[in-house]
Amino acid sequence: MTADPTTTEHSVAHGVFAIERTYPNVTPQRVYEAFATEAGKDAWFSGPNEAWDIVERVFDFRIGGRETLKGRWKSGMVTEFDATFFDIVPGARIVYAYEMRLDGRKISVSLATFEFKAVGAGAKLTMTEQGAFLDGYDDNGSRERGSRDLVDKLSAWLEG
């Protein structure tokens, strides 16, 4: 779906944020595998279980591969995450670009970078995201909040 070319009200707003977490008893490889394996990603990357049901999930982790996650909220709204992997350094870095849709309408395109580093006997995760929010979709920090919620789910899984 592309923007309606007959509409003159096109806009873009930009946002950048970073999230860091340190895991004193978890190896960088384990944190990386939470992103790089389907079982790892399934454990934490989804909407809230009580309010959201998975409709489609595709996971093809390789440079040029795609990841798709589509879900339906109890309200009926459908959200879609569709990513393409551009850079993978095993155990160290993942870079992908993704678009988000609400009920089929593209609301954003983002570049996300994940870095995994050893810190003592543990690991440090750094996530940096640069987003372009489209045609009146006023993010107002909701992407960062949602990403922090997902990283909190990841942390609970890694430390649990």
Rounded to two decimals, the pTM is 0.89
Mean per-residue pLDDT, 57-75: 96
Tokens of residue 109, six digits? 């395109």
What CA–CA distance (Å, rounded) separates 116 from 56? 28
CB-based contacts of 23, cutoff 8 Å, min separation 6: 31, 122, 123, 124, 125, 155, 158, 159
Q: Specify which residues 80 forms β-bridges with.
A: 70, 101
Q: Are 50 and 71 in contact (CB under 8 A)?
A: no
- CATH architecture for segment(s) 13-159: 2-Layer Sandwich (3.30)
Position 1 pLDDT exceeds 60: no
Query: For 29-39, what is each residue's pLDDT tens digit?
Result: 999 999 999 99
